[in-house]
Amino acid sequence: MKFITIDKKDWAKGIEKSRETYRLFGPVKEKNGFLIKSLDNDTLPDMEYTDSVMSAKSVMFPQSEKMLNASLDESQEGHHIMNRVDSDYSPQAVLGIRPFDAKAVQLVKLNFDTKDYRDPYWCDAYEATTFIGLGINKPGFYDFSTTAGSGPFEEDGLDVLLADMDDKYLAKILTDKGQAYVDACGFKTGADEKESQILLDVLKKEAENNIASQINTDQLKDKAILDLHDAPFWDDVAFSCINCGTCTYVCPTCWCFDIQDETKRKSTTRFRNWDTCMSSLFTLHTTGHNPRDSKTQRVKQRFMHKLKYFVDKYDQGTMCVGCGRCVKSCPVNIDIREVCNTMNAYEKQE
Amino acid sequence: MENPYMPYPVRIDDIEIATEDKSLKTFKFVFLNKEDEEKFSYEAGQFAELSIPGVGEIPIGIASSPIEKGFVKFTVFRAGVVTSHLHNMKVGDIMGIRGPLGNWYPWDKLENKNVVIIGGGFAFTTLRSSIIYMLDPANRSRFKNIDVVYGARSPGMLLYPEELFEWEARDDINMHITVDGTDDPDWKYHTGFVPQIVEQNAPKADKDTYAIICGPPIMIKFTMPALVQLGYKENQIIMSLENKMKCGIGMCGRCNIGKELVCKDGPVFTLEELNLTPKEY
């Protein structure tokens, strides 16, 4: 594995240089906190950010995305025949993505890139993207990533891992895509591999030691779906929920979407929009029948999907990376850590 | 790589009113591009998204049979935004079809077996597809006895009546057509609800007999005890589910029952499989 160091004085210049080949995304401060956004010319990623309100999932999976369009003008050739909307899939890089968010992208990939179908919108954007991660020296209060299959310096899903060393970044180049990006920036000050890895390990250990909260997931796989589904604690878990859906929008692994057509005059566009399993409309049949009619059923669906159905289906751990956003953003303090531990410890009463 | 969200363009070739109350119509579609018809190669029991640009999409079971070439047919109940719009469309209009989607009735497993088909109301579309498929001279010998119990509220609400009565006259299929009630003195078939007709007429189960059941929830609820009484085991009862869907390819996340997605892992499940999932359908 190759290491380089990047002097922070050279950072801005290198990033600007990479714009010749890459479109850039990164943390930007907005009035309600940090978001991962497209970086307009002259905007640099704010690498001093602590945590972002939203994850980087929107880089591959925009909140609202044009999929297809068609003309409804019957005097035109090809009317009512849908075509894929032109989108820009030229190379792009997400700067400063957190390791748990990069891991989340790998989990979302399991949904959009399957053996039967490939979602071309998500996959094309993913393939165009280089992930330049920034290790977390001081994990936030809500971070429980180390017990959720990730961690402050985990490398899964990253092309480059940066470690903030005060006046410089230590960069571990993990893939060819990562190498291509640092080349495009002109960063090439090599660093000793052994020594760099030791430095990184020290930072990693220190950061991991700062993470106080944990989840237990070891028993989830062995539970029967129906036992957990019929467990008595769900009404208590859901009691305070107002079904606002915030947890699903801030979650880096929530991938559910809706498809809607929008028509202006004689032209129509088919969009996909983020959807939320917290909404009763999500599952409402035209007949009025709703298989997840009650709030408890919907709250249960969210946790069961993340912590049981996903675990059983893919055998790759939970569909939670421990970023803590849903815990922090929930207006009624529902805490996935408590729910997970309750599920993990649950024994069916005979 | 194909875009699974891209519908194949089709032209409405024919529209038939399917029931006396006009709430159901059968649409016959022809693919604008001949090669799309081959790409749309399907099995009896699958569904597709009918896609109307500017209006939206709706998942509907395929009513035509894989052995019927040159077109695809769907019988659609007028219920919501998309189906109401579709009911107002005309022959010659252009729209789209996306699919085929989902799994199908387990034809391999049903080989050399007796098959009992039970349907109610307008949930007879993929069953029609299946019967046409099984009765095809190339396929009939692959199956043993075929029994069909099909019921509707009244004679005028039975789908595909001409075919039903033609099958009734054949000796390689046992038809048990029923209506809830009728004032037609010449009605020569059964009168009574589907569960009762099943109890009285369906063959008893042995290890070589399977039941395929498709209908409104109330019919399914009361037919199950009848099947249990006839000795059918959970793995011999095959059902087709419906849930709200958008993508139809297992990605949008709403049609799941536990870890199974009705659109991709279903819509066809055995009762044995369903008994392992939450009843969220």
**pLDDT tens per residue, range B225-248:** 999 999 999 999 999 999 999 999
* B window 84-143, beta carbon within 8 A of A: 93-96
Cα angle A304, A309, A314; round to 5: 145
pLDDT > 70 in chain A, percent: 100
Inter-chain residue contact B280 with A291, CB threshold 8 Å: yes
Residue B217: pLDDT band by 50, 70, 90 thresholds? confident
pLDDT tens readout for residues A83-107: 999 999 999 999 999 999 999 999 9
Residue B215: pLDDT band by 50, 70, 90 thresholds? confident
More confident position, A48 or B86: B86
Stretches in chain A below the pLDDT threshold 70:
1
A16-24, Cβ contacts within 8 angstroms, sequence gap of 24 or more = A17/A184, A17/A185, A17/A186, A18/A93, A18/A181, A18/A184, A18/A185, A20/A184, A21/A91, A21/A184, A22/A91, A22/A92, A22/A93, A22/A130, A22/A181, A22/A184, A23/A88, A23/A90, A23/A91, A23/A92, A23/A93, A24/A92, A24/A93, A24/A95
Could you report the predicted ipTM of this complex, rounded to two decimals? Answer: 0.93
| Among B244, B250, B281, beta carbon nearest to A284 | B244
Residue B1: pLDDT band by 50, 70, 90 thresholds? low
Six-digit token string for B11: 């032209």
Closest by CA position to A45, among listed A19, A62, A74, A25: A25
Inter-chain residue contact A256 with B252, CB threshold 8 Å: yes
Mean of all residue pLDDT scores within chain B: 95
pLDDT reported for residue A1? 62
Sheet holding A23-30, edge to edge: A33-38, A23-30, A92-97, A129-134, A160-165, A168-173, A2-7, A189-191
The 3-class secondary structure across A183-222, one letter per residue, is HHHCCCEEECHHHHHHHHHHHHHHHHHCCCCCCCCCCHHH
| Alpha carbon distances (Å) from A234 to A1, A75, A230, B254 | 47, 57, 8, 20
Cβ pairs A/B, distance under 8 A: 129
- Mean pLDDT of the region B40-57: 97
Q: What is the pTM of this model?
A: 0.95
Rounded to the nearest 5°, which phi and psi values hold at B49?
-95, 120
Inter-chain residue contact A275 with B254, CB threshold 8 Å: yes
